[in-house]
Amino acid sequence: MTELTPRLAAIQKKLAVLADAAKYDASCSSSGAQRKRDPNGMGNSEGMGICHSYAPDGRCISLLKILLTNFCIYDCKFCINRISSNVQRAKFTPEEVIWLTLEFYRRNYIEGLFLSSGIIESSDATMELLIRVARGLREQHKFNGYIHLKVVAGASQELIEEAGKWADRISANIEMPVQPDLDLLAPAKTIDAATKAMAQIANKVIETKDNLKHFKSTPKFAPAGQTTQMIVGATSSPDAEILKTSQELYNKFSLKRVYYSAYSPIPNADALLPAEKPSLVRENRLYQADWLLRYYGFTANELVNDKNPNLALDIDPKTSWALGHRESFPVDVNKSPKAALLRIPGVGVKNVERILQLRQFHKITLLDLQKMHITISRAKYFVITADHNPNIWLLDSESLDARLKPKAVQLSLFDQPAQDTSVKLPYVAAAV
Q: Is the CB of 261 or the CB of 351 nearer to ligand SF4?
A: 261
Q: Does 76 bind ligand SF4 (CB under 6 A)?
A: yes
Q: Is the CB of 260 or the CB of 321 nearer to ligand SF4?
A: 260
For 29, which DSSP code?
Answer: -
Written as one string, the DSSP assignment of 128-146 is HHHHHHHHIIIIIT-B-SE
Q: Is the CB of 11 or the CB of 153 nearer to ligand SF4?
A: 153
Sheet with strand 146-150: strands edge to edge? 63-67, 112-116, 146-150, 169-171, 226-232, 257-262
What is d(CA 381, CA 366) in angstroms, rounded to the nearest whole number? 12
Residue 195's nearest CA partner among 177, 220, 168, 169 is: 177
Q: Side chain identity at 158, as an amino acid letter?
A: E
Q: Is the CB of 178 or the CB of 392 nearer to ligand SF4?
A: 178
Q: Does 74 bind ligand SF4 (CB under 6 A)?
A: yes
Contact 334, 385 (CB under 8 A): yes
Q: Segment contacting ligand SF4 (CB under 6 A): 51-59, 74-82, 100-108, 227-235?
A: 74-82
Size of interface with ligand SF4, in residues (CB under 6 A) = 10
Q: Is the CB of 72 or the CB of 172 nearer to ligand SF4?
A: 72
Q: Does 200 bind ligand SF4 (CB under 6 A)?
A: no
Q: Does 342 bind ligand SF4 (CB under 6 A)?
A: no
Candidates 97, 110, 119, 197; binder of ligand SF4 (CB under 6 A) is 119
Candidates 43, 118, 346, 348; binder of ligand SF4 (CB under 6 A) is 118
What is d(CA 110, CA 119) in angstroms, rounded to the nearest whole number? 26
Q: Tell me which H or E stretch contains 207.
A: helix 191-214
User: Least Å distance between CB 172 and ligand SF4?
Assistant: 11
CA atoms in the 13 A half-sphere facing the CB of 371: 8
Q: Does 72 bind ligand SF4 (CB under 6 A)?
A: yes
Q: Is the CB of 22 or the CB of 304 nearer to ligand SF4?
A: 22
Q: Is the CB of 65 or the CB of 380 nearer to ligand SF4?
A: 65
Q: Segment contacting ligand SF4 (CB under 6 A): 76-84, 197-205, 251-259, 382-390?
A: 76-84
Q: Does 79 bind ligand SF4 (CB under 6 A)?
A: yes
Q: Segment contacting ligand SF4 (CB under 6 A): 26-34, 77-85, 223-231, 363-371?
A: 77-85
User: Least Å distance between CB 313 and ligand SF4?
Assistant: 28
For 150, which DSSP code?
Answer: E
Q: Segment contacting ligand SF4 (CB under 6 A): 4-12, 75-83, 86-94, 164-172?
A: 75-83
10 Å Cβ neighbour count for 239? Answer: 24
Contact 369, 376 (CB under 8 A): yes
Residue 63's nearest CA partner among 30, 37, 90, 18 is: 30
Q: Side chain identity at 407, as an amino acid letter?
A: K
Cross-strand bridge partners of residue 91: 69
Residue 431's nearest CA partner among 316, 268, 328 is: 316
For 368, which DSSP code?
Answer: H
Beta strands in 204-329 (DSSP E): 226-232, 257-262
User: Least Å distance between CB 319 and ligand SF4?
Assistant: 36
Contact 30, 65 (CB under 8 A): no
Candidates 14, 52, 65, 82; binder of ligand SF4 (CB under 6 A) is 82
What is d(CA 88, CA 81) in angstroms, rounded to the nearest whole number? 9
User: Least Å distance between CB 176 and ligand SF4?
Assistant: 11
User: Least Å distance between CB 55 and ligand SF4?
Assistant: 15
Residues 120-159 close enough to bind ligand SF4 by CB under 6 A = 153
User: Least Å distance between CB 27 and ligand SF4?
Assistant: 12
Residues 393-422 close enough to bind ligand SF4 by CB under 6 A = none
Where does this chain bind ligand SF4 (CB under 6 A)?
A: 72, 74, 76, 79, 81-82, 118-119, 153, 186
